[in-house]
């Protein structure tokens, strides 16, 4: 995991707590939702090789769930460039839960 990611999470949590947000006490664990409402794992394609990707920005997104489905609104965006290089990430099947 890139060093900047846990720092970003901790800094955000501290600022939110200062203004009265009641936050989840579990330790930060970076994740990406690949599928929702899957009833059987056999419905998913097999991930044979790790997937490499580059992250260039962090977005604060508001999600709103209604009977019609979920709506996502991007509230703000922050670049994640460090010394001219984007944060690199790798997601592999072993990291999935």
- Taking the C-alpha atoms of residue 45 and residue 1, their distance in angstroms, rounded to an integer, is 25
Number of domains in the chain: 1
User: Does residue 68 fall inside a structural domain?
Assistant: yes
Domain contains 38? no
- Using the predicted structure, report yes or no on whether residue 31 has a pLDDT greater than 80: no
Q: Is residue 76 part of a domain?
A: yes
Q: What is the mean pLDDT of residues 46-64?
A: 82
Name the 3-class secondary structure at 78.
strand
Domain residues for the domain of 10 are 4-29+50-95
pLDDT in tens, 41-54: 777 788 788 888 77
CB within 8 Å of 3: residues ≥ 6 apart: none
Express each pLDDT in 17-29 by its tens digit. 999 999 888 888 8
pTM of the model: 0.48
Residue 36 included in any domain: no
pLDDT at 81: 67
């Amino acid at each position: 995991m890139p060093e900047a990611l846990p720092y970003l999470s901790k800094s955000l949590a501290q600022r939110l707590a200062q203004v009265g947000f009641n936050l989840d006490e579990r330790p930060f664990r970076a994740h990406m939702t690949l599928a929702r409402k899957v009833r059987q794992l056999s419905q998913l394609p097999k991930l044979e090789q790790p997937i490499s990707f580059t992250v260039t920005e962090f977005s604060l997104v508001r999600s709103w769930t209604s009977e019609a489905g979920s709506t996502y609104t991007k509230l703000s965006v922050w670049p994640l460039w460090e010394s001219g290089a984007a944060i690199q990430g790798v997601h592999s099947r072993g990291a999935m839960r």
